[in-house]
């Protein structure tokens, strides 16, 4: 159901897998007035950039080189982030294919001057493609889940991938059908 590869694939190099913990990272940033929207809370785009930055670092670490954002799925904003919040963006590779990876991201926020535990304020799933110096796709190592939570994340990532591919196929088929019926795009 996935394009997860193994050493039996004769046309692919034998790349050893990497454990989930090898590329897991946390990016922390304090929110200032420069980050606010018209409502006085932190702009969603600022959070999305932090998410993309953390996920990109994880994808680059896991793949051992450059990786580019291919898509962002299910960006959920659960709570507003305020000026003075210390935001922690935690990311890890959930799934790997031949040249792509899904990175899961959790966004937590805490007041910079309080000792209360952080609150989850967002989450997202991003797909990255590993690329070489010419921008061409390159093979990535398989991810090796280490915990039951990692194994669950891998299974959920496979479901999301199946849905992404089915949605893309359905849209392509609809466009082809409409074009055949004489409708313009």
pLDDT digits (tens, 9 = 90+) for 71-129: 998 899 999 999 999 999 999 999 999 999 999 999 999 998 888 999 999 999 999 99
pLDDT digits (tens, 9 = 90+) for 106-122: 999 999 888 899 999 99
pLDDT digits (tens, 9 = 90+) for 4-54: 444 344 455 678 999 999 999 999 999 999 999 999 999 999 999 999 999
49-87 in b/e form (b: 16+ CB < 10 A) is ebbbebbbbbbbbbbeebbeeeebeebebeeebeebbbb
Tokens coding 80: 């507003």
Three-state SS annotation for 3-47: CCCCCCCCCCCCCCCEEHHHCCEEEEEECCHHHECCCCCECHHHH
Instruction: List, in sequence order, every residue forming a beta bridge with 90; answer none if it has no partner.
Output: 26, 106
Helix, strand, coil fractions of the chain, as percent rounded to 5:
30, 35, 35
Given this model, what pLDDT does residue 3 score?
A: 45
Helix (H, G, I), strand (E, B) or coil at 110: strand
Given this model, what pLDDT does residue 30 score?
A: 97
């Amino acid at each position: 159901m996935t394009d997860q590869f193994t050493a039996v694939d004769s046309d692919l190099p034998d790349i050893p897998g990497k454990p989930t913990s090898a590329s897991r990272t946390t990016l922390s940033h304090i929110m200032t007035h420069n980050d606010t929207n018209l409502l006085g809370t932190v702009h969603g785009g600022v959070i999305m950039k932090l998410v993309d930055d953390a996920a990109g670092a994880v994808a680059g670490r896991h793949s051992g080189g450059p990786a580019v954002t291919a898509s962002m799925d299910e960006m959920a904003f659960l709570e507003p982030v305020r000026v003075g919040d210390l935001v922690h963006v935690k990311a890890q590779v959930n799934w790997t294919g031949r040249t792509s990876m899904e990175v899961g991201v959790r966004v937590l926020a805490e007041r910079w001057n309080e000792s209360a535990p952080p609150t989850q304020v967002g989450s997202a799933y991003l797909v990255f493609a590993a690329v070489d110096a010419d921008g061409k796709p390159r093979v990535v190592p398989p991810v090796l889940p280490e915990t039951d939570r990692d194994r669950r994340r891998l299974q959920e990532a496979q479901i999301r991938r199946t849905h992404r591919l089915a949605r893309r196929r359905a849209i392509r088929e609809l466009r082809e059908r409409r074009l055949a019926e004489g409708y313009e795009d």
